[in-house]
A and B are shown apart, each in its own frame.
Chain A
Amino acid sequence: MFSRLLVANRGEIALRIIRACRELGVRSVAVYSEADARSPHVREADEAVCIGPPPSKDSYLLGDRLIEVARATGAEAVHPGYGFLSERAWFARAVRDAGLVWVGPPAEAIEAMGSKTAARQLAIGAGVPVVPGTTDGLRDAAEAAGIAERFGYPVLLKAAAGGGGKGMRVVRQPGELAAALAAARREAQNAFGDDSVYVEKYIEGPRHVEIQVLFDHHGTGLAIGERECSVQRRHQKMIEEAPSVAVSPELRRRMGETAVAAGRAAGYANAGTCEFLLDRDGRFYFLEMNTRIQVEHPVTECVTGLDLVQWQLRIAAGERLPFADGTVFEPRGWAIECRITAEDPANGFLPSTGRITHLHLPAGPGVRWDGGIEAGGEVTLFYDPMLAKLVVHAPTRPLAIARMHRALSELVIEGVETSREFHLRVMEHPDFRAGDISIQWLEQRLPELAAPPVPVRVEQLAAVAAALLAQRDRTAPAQRAGADASPAAGRAAPRDAAADAWRLAGRREGLRSS
């Protein structure tokens, strides 16, 4: 095992890696930008080096600087986390060329999986199913009909120059094809000045199901189970779970074998994830491979008992996986993760910034908090709005949902708007509880999940609470006002006005009505 490792990341994932290092007896070296000088990951590491100003391009994305720090501190390995430089083949290569160990797949494997088209070709070569489609524009309706017959209906007609749903048509029966093709061509011509149209198989109500894989450097490759990440907004995952309601043991085995085959074709090593679309009939199609640790890895850790980040380090250090090829990992229990982001669901998920004035974390059985925030910390616009991941583990899915609801209810984050209540609404939603979701589900249900009407009972309780607070202000206004004002709450009063929130409120009122 390494004696010292550089953590080339920030926030919760840096902390996650530092924790793994500490448990394995590896000294961790954190890097940080000037904006992160007081961040938890800096304090929890054994050593920490400032690498530049707040913008990522001047700090966390400076590959040469990171390698320089690794050398100067005597680190033997570099863990990139996710995001930033984690999937940059050039950085993996530069780390290797500097005589350091890259905790991840070889640069060549990152490259092979790096572009969607190259990965698709690689997958096809390895016998991995991809969404069937043509790559040349259709000549006429007869050609379209022939291809559709081969793929099976429904099919999707798609403008070559496409985007935004224009020039797209779902065709469910042969009889509709000619008219749909003409319409798609017209739309494509009007929208893009190019009427070429492709055809691909239309996947009905697909789920996003991905397979976690682990490959060591001694030829062993394992699929260690699936995660379902269908709750997405604008292709951003919000909630992940393991296992998936849609995956049977038999399907798990087949998807696992497929994922391992894709990894082998790319010469993979270390931890990775193959993403698939899963249709209603249990057919799955390869989308892409993520050549790094994933945000949502904890749900797999919960149901398999494997510490994936520790295994990343062990594999990079040359250890063998202690499992035979083809070992099947049956999930134990059910795990759910909610991404707690600094976004305001009631306001179109606008990012929210400010100082975290109060933080109360959920605890108790089966609750895990992977976070990079603390009270007093500043949420800025420099980095990703994800504050933390709240993860629960329970024997069954209904119990896991109840546990997540309970944990979210305990969580208090004051100072920035967060996605907490949005997650509560999802946990309460009958579709989610029934596992009846697809990747379009969230977008379709967004209004009722992001800004639902407040129940009358809650409103009455809030009215009583507000009246009691007003009553208290009346009895001792001067000191109450000071005690209750939350100065740095972002949208509220500036700090120096905290002592006299009444007068401030009065001034604001005056401003507002003028």
Chain B
Amino acid sequence: MKYRVRIGDRMHDVVLEGDTAVIDGETLRVHLAEVPGSPIRMVTVGDAVHRVVARREAGRGTWRLSVDGWTVTAEALDERQRAILERQRASGPQGPAPLVAPMPGLVVRIHVAVGDAVVAGQGLVAMEAMKMENELKAAGAGTVRAILVEPGQAVEKGTVLVELA
């Protein structure tokens, strides 16, 4: 079975056949074993054993993996699933991700207004949590479509604060 695994901006092709894997053209023996009662997996590649901590994320085939002291988010889909997803993404409305509260806290200030053009990395909202003020930044460029909170409002983790178009 061929999987197309997206990590960040890069795509890796992994072909699994029995206990061998072909990754980006290289053939290796691989094995996955679970450590019962824990999120820890043992992944054997050739003779090397790696401890992988795996957590399922929202999104089909998406995992957050801690591997050898690094954490990555990987989206592993087989060719058919990948093709479907890409068609969906192409036909679905495009737009930058909304700004979401990464933790529960208090909205202190909002730096933008509806209709403002913003650039990636621009601070949109200041939030206070754990006695510290944090600047929440736009992940990508866009235009502010809606502001869904106001200063002084307490919000839960995951609350959509600002929608971009």
Contact = CB atoms under 8 A, between A and B. Distances in A.
Interface of A: 344, 347-348, 350-353, 357-358, 360, 381, 383-385, 408-409, 412, 414, 421, 424, 454-455, 458-474, 481, 484-486, 489-493, 501-502, 504-506, 508-509, 512-514
Given A381-B130, A408-B69, A465-B52, A454 B8 contact: yes
B39 A381 contact: no
A492 B21 contact: no
Interface stretch (B9-17, B109-117, B145-153): B9-17
B103 A459 contact: no
B27 to A, nearest CB: 12
Contacts of A464: 14, 21, 23, 28, 30, 43, 45
Contacts of A473: 61
Given A470-B3, A491-B158, A358 B39 contact: yes
Given A509-B59, A513-B92, 16 more contacts: A348-B137, A351-B103, A353-B157, A383-B130, A462-B74, A463-B12, A464-B28, A464-B45, A465-B43, A466-B5, A468-B16, A469-B41, A470-B3, A471-B1, A492-B58, A514-B92
A384 B132 CA distance: 10
B62 A465 contact: no
B76 A466 contact: yes
B102 to A, nearest CB: 5
Interface of B: 1, 3, 5, 7-8, 10, 12, 14, 16, 21, 23-24, 28, 30, 32, 38-41, 43, 45, 50, 52-63, 65-72, 74-78, 88-89, 92-93, 102-105, 129-130, 132, 134-135, 137, 157-158
B156 to A, nearest CB: 10
Nearest to A508: B58
22 contacts: A351-B129, A351-B134, A358-B40, A381-B104, A384-B130, A454-B7, A460-B12, A461-B68, A463-B7, A465-B52, A466-B65, A466-B74, A470-B76, A471-B1, A481-B56, A492-B56, A492-B57, A493-B56, A505-B56, A509-B58, A512-B58, A513-B92
A513 B88 contact: yes
B70 A455 contact: yes
Contacts of A381: 103-105, 129-130
B143 to A, nearest CB: 19
B33 to A, nearest CB: 10
B101 to A, nearest CB: 10
A466 B57 CA distance: 12
Contacts of B60: 502, 505-506, 509
A493 B61 contact: no
Given A464-B43, A493-B58, A424 B69 contact: yes
Contacts of A506: 60
A421 B158 contact: no
A502 B21 CA distance: 25
Contacts of B130: 351, 381, 383-385
Contacts of B68: 409, 458, 461
A82 to B, nearest CB: 15
A469 B10 contact: no
